[in-house]
Chain A
Amino acid sequence: MKEIYLDNNATTKVDEAVFEEMRPYFCELYGNPSSMHFFGGQVQGKVSEARNRVAALLGASPEEIIFTACGTESDNAAIRSALEVFPERRHVITSRVEHPAVLTQCRNLTQKGYRVTEIGVDGAGRLDMEEYRKAIDDDTAIVSFMWANNETGVIFPVEEAAAIAKTKGALFHSDAVQAIGKIPINMDGSAIDMLSLSGHKLHAPKGIGVLYLRRGTPFRPFLVGGHQERSRRAGTENAAAIIALGKACELAGQHMEAENTIVKAQRDRLQDALMVAIPNARINGGGAERLPNTTSIAFEFVEGEAILLLLSELGICASSGSACTSGSLEPSHVLRAMGVPFTCAHGSIRFSLSRFTTDTEIDTVIREMPAIIARLRQMSPFGREFLKGQA
């Protein structure tokens, strides 16, 4: 069965051109970039080129790019560093809808005596800037807000938030894992101090990430024991993956316009058609500015895991904010923070597209989805009551 892959916020296909770029650096050009000899030196040259390419996508300088193992490492390193830099500041601000890579770390900090404020969102998933302005004070060491939400695609006003942090002398970090490659980002002249990126969300392989660190920002490394990355992240460079990420960033820059026109049009067509064909559905975060590739739709009276498995039977890959898929028993913390009504929080499905998504694939989902929802509603006691009311 050929898959219809609409789960690109979970991970993406490695672009063939990216794979070709990294291929020689396993069996042929396997030298250590730190070595003195020519054999390592040529790898060093490609790593530098990759750093330039990543910097170009972000509007950053190459020395502001620190390669890490993943977005989670970047998030952890950024927050830990800020707390070490400002030992006298004991307050951390984040949002209620962050990725666990940030949220778990912040919640752990409360056990170490830190004050942690989690800023809420409104029904459309928009950050409560008023609450944020009131929460920040001279005790705040770091503010960490995601650039765009992984479940709903809702974009936060991170530049505005970073400017506010600056007035209190706090550092500002943004988990931009979902945003980079999908919307233009320019660190030149930005007030943002640190930024996390993950390779596998933009058609590079898994196991490579970046922490952007603004020049002049005080920093304490998370990993020590080597001079790599200017001693800001010790450990032998994952050269092949770094080179792949460089290529992926170059391609992301080239496809940025398509991402915001072609992919966005596909996403809009998909959600519009489903909203017309399926009664009692709602788009989570539909009223907010969102990433062009993401839509999260809540279907009332049915449960997400059952929807996903019926889609999966047809080769369609999506994801859900439902409890049952994750092994937890409550709907996702993002949907709960948004106050999505409990009648449909369990039936939320996320479709996330990429530049490899085809119109035919979108057609297939539009064709199949109404029958899947109808079938499960027919089976559900609440769905049947609802269908009866409609008849």
Chain B
Amino acid sequence: MWDYTPIVKDHFLNPRNVGDIPDADAVGEVGSLACGDALKLYLKLDDNKDKILDAKFQTFGCASAIASSSALTEMVKGKTMDEALAISNQDIADFLGGLPEEKMHCSVMGQEALEVAIFKYRGMDIPEHDSEHDHGHAYPDHEGTIVCKCFGITDTFLKKVIETNRLTTAEQVTHFTKAGGACGGCIPKIQELIAQVLGDADVQPRTRPEKLSNMKKMQLIQEVLERDVRPLLWADGGDLELIDIDGSRVQVAFRKACAGCASSGNTARMVEVKLRDLVAEDIVVEEVSA
């Protein structure tokens, strides 16, 4: 049995916002019957055509696909379209208290449907969705060439997911996108893409800025925690929350597996080293129990 969180179970058993919006402003559709999951997302905008007033969904898929869709509709309501576009698949998973890694593709499907809905509304070119196609496109065909023939997934899309989720193995890419999960023929290509993405990151090594305003410093601390620290903790089933920043003092609280972990002191030092490397030399990380 999958180890679903109580929030996932709740959103599966009592899904919010199931249905359709007949006069929806934006509709996003991803997935297919052949692929085993699909999501149709409806968005209703306010009179200024900016803020999302209402969201509804229809999902074909497993419990975590239904829960991810339900969570997504709750998350976007009341947000402007730009705010909504900032929602990452990890945000959806976080909202649900986490997803088993093998099920992360469900959160990716949610994020993708949202993007498609808004991009289409803004008149961007999104190819027509073909849900009847046997093993058709799991995700809309971005620019780029198909890598995974079984699920119809392009290199452009894979690189995006690899980069935003900091994936390092082909197995992770399969868990997040399904690519490589059927015949497995594209796994070498996926490994190449991972190498490319990691390589790109190496081309522009990030260094500590010379001078930082207080405001910029706080932003950078948050960014490093999100991009460089939390994914490392997730890998071990842990997490952290930023509690406060006071000058160079950064207060964090450890969550999940990290909470109460005997080596959280070491983890705090690891966070400190990262922040000193990438933000400012004088940063001190303190663990608080908030």
Decide if A342 touches B61 in the complex (CB within 8 Å).
no
Give the segment of A143-151, A186-194, A195-203, A302-310 that binds chain B: A302-310
| Distance in Å: Cβ of A183 to nearest Cβ of chain B | 31
Residues 314-338 of chain A, each 1 if its beta carbon lies under 8 Å from chain B, else 0:
0000000011110111110000000
Residues 56-75 of chain B, each 1 if its beta carbon lies under 8 Å from chain A, else 0:
00111111011000000000
Given known pairs A342-B135, A378-B18, the reply for A303 and B174 (CB within 8 Å) is no
CA distance A346 to B63 in the complex (A): 13
Decide if A324 touches B33 in the complex (CB within 8 Å).
no
Interface status of A380 (Cβ within 8 A of chain B)? yes
Residues 146-181 of chain B, each 1 if its beta carbon lies under 8 Å from chain A, else 0:
000011000000000000000000000010001001
Which residue in chain A gives the minimum CB-CB distance to B106?
A: A324
Chain A contact-residue range equals 20 to 34
The listed residue (B62, B134, B174) touching A342 by CB distance below 8 A is B134
Interface status of A39 (Cβ within 8 A of chain B)? no
Decide if A382 touches B15 in the complex (CB within 8 Å).
no
A residues 260-310 near B (Cβ < 8 Å) are: 301-306, 309-310
Which residue in chain B gives the minimum CB-CB distance to A327?
A: B102
| Distance in Å: Cβ of A228 to nearest Cβ of chain B | 37
| Distance in Å: Cβ of A85 to nearest Cβ of chain B | 33
CA distance A343 to B29 in the complex (A): 17
Decide if B58 touches A380 in the complex (CB within 8 Å).
yes
The listed residue (A310, A331, A381) touching B29 by CB distance below 8 A is A381
| Distance in Å: Cβ of B125 to nearest Cβ of chain A | 23
Decide if B178 touches A329 in the complex (CB within 8 Å).
yes
CA distance A373 to B52 in the complex (A): 31
Interface status of B44 (Cβ within 8 A of chain A)? no
Decide if B174 touches A329 in the complex (CB within 8 Å).
yes
Decide if B131 touches A379 in the complex (CB within 8 Å).
no
Decide if B12 touches A306 in the complex (CB within 8 Å).
yes
Decide if B13 touches A313 in the complex (CB within 8 Å).
yes
Decide if A301 touches B63 in the complex (CB within 8 Å).
no
7 A-B pairs within 8 Å (CB atoms) are namely A301-B33, A301-B60, A322-B36, A323-B36, A342-B135, A380-B60, A381-B58
By a beta-carbon cutoff of 8 Å, the part of chain A in contact with chain B is: 301-306, 309-310, 313, 322-325, 327-331, 342-343, 346, 378-384
Known contacts A303-B61, A342-B134, A379-B66; can you find 10 more A-B pairs with CB under 8 A? A303-B65, A309-B12, A324-B37, A324-B65, A325-B62, A330-B36, A342-B34, A381-B58, A381-B60, A382-B60
